[in-house]
A = this chain, B = another copy of it.
Amino acid sequence: VTSRKPSVFFYFDYISSNAYLAWIRLPEILARTGFELKPVPVLFAGLLEEHGQLGPAEVRPKAIWMFKNNLRKAAQLGVPLNPPVHHPFNPLLALRATSLPSAEAGLGALIRGLFDAVWVNGRHISEPAVVEDVANAAGLDGAQLVAEAQTLEAKTRLREQTDCAIDDGVFGVPTMQVNDELFWGYDDLPYLELHLAGEDPLDPEAVAKWLLGRQPSAMRRRFRT
């Protein structure tokens, strides 16, 4: 029996504390509106490179602002948030493991386990032993999952997921996609919920008019030519 609920795609990377917080809040939003969540791991660094952008952790005052902002959100949600000592870190193994077909049986528990490993327990999920341990706790075969995650097929899958997300206009994490509509970041969740509930305040005609008429009159030099 396949689900007949419409889907919200959730593009994420474990490196993002906003994604961790969104992952905690999304189930109640989707339950209220009758949508199904489909997680799609993507490499945040790949999105940044595509657009020549820096991540918040790479701009020191922004990193400080963001952790404070996220600590406030976590406090309001009543969930723990302990920014890990090792950040930024390499999330590839965890993202590849999460993308495996063989992870599907315990997918929700695996994602929550890996988010918690980073953002609650300060564990270093770049290390295979940590991913294996979290996968075991999620009821999966951790050793097998870690081995599979290092195959060419697993690497290609994550790269394709990231490329497809870029093609769909995803530029950051977390991004929530409903049909062609993209919602970015934890702060966009209220607008996602309005959209899902059929109460989106956005006037599509205003958007169309602007997209057609745009004529930038001053552009800075780009970092990449």
Partner of A211, one of B64, B90, B170: B64
Contact segment of A69-77, A98-106, A132-140: A69-77
Question: Which residues of chain B have C-beta atoms less than 8 A from A217's C-beta?
Answer: 86-90, 124, 126
The answer on a CB contact under 8 Å between B51 and A54 is: yes
Complex interface: chain B residues within 8 A of A71 (CB): 201-203, 206-207
Cross-chain contact A207 with B171 (CB below 8 angstroms) = no
Contact A215 B83 (CB under 8 A): no
Interface residues of A in 21-76 (CB under 8 A from B): 45, 48-49, 51-55, 57-59, 61-62, 64-65, 67-69, 71-72, 75-76
Q: What 1/0 mask marks residues of chain A from 201 to 224 whose CB sits below 8 Å from any chain B CB?
A: 111001100110111111110111
Question: Bound state CA distance, A7 and B169, in angstroms?
Answer: 40
> For residue A83, which residues in chain B have a CB less than 8 angstroms away from its CB?
210, 214
The residue that A216 contacts in the complex, of B62, B64, B65, B86, with Cβ under 8 A, is: B86
Count of chain A residues near B, Cβ 8 A? 63
Main SS class of interface, A: loop
Query: Assuming the A-B contacts A65-B182, A172-B62, A216-B88, are A72 and B224 also in contact, with contact meaning beta carbons closer than 8 angstroms in the complex?
Result: no
> What are 18 A-B pairs with beta-carbon distances under 8 A?
A51-B61, A51-B62, A52-B223, A61-B182, A62-B172, A65-B184, A72-B191, A72-B194, A72-B200, A85-B214, A86-B216, A86-B217, A87-B216, A88-B218, A89-B218, A90-B218, A187-B187, A223-B223
Residues of A at the B interface (CB closer than 8 Å) are 45, 48-49, 51-55, 57-59, 61-62, 64-65, 67-69, 71-72, 75-76, 81-83, 85-90, 124, 126, 169-172, 182, 184-185, 187-188, 191, 194, 200-203, 206-207, 210-211, 213-220, 222-224
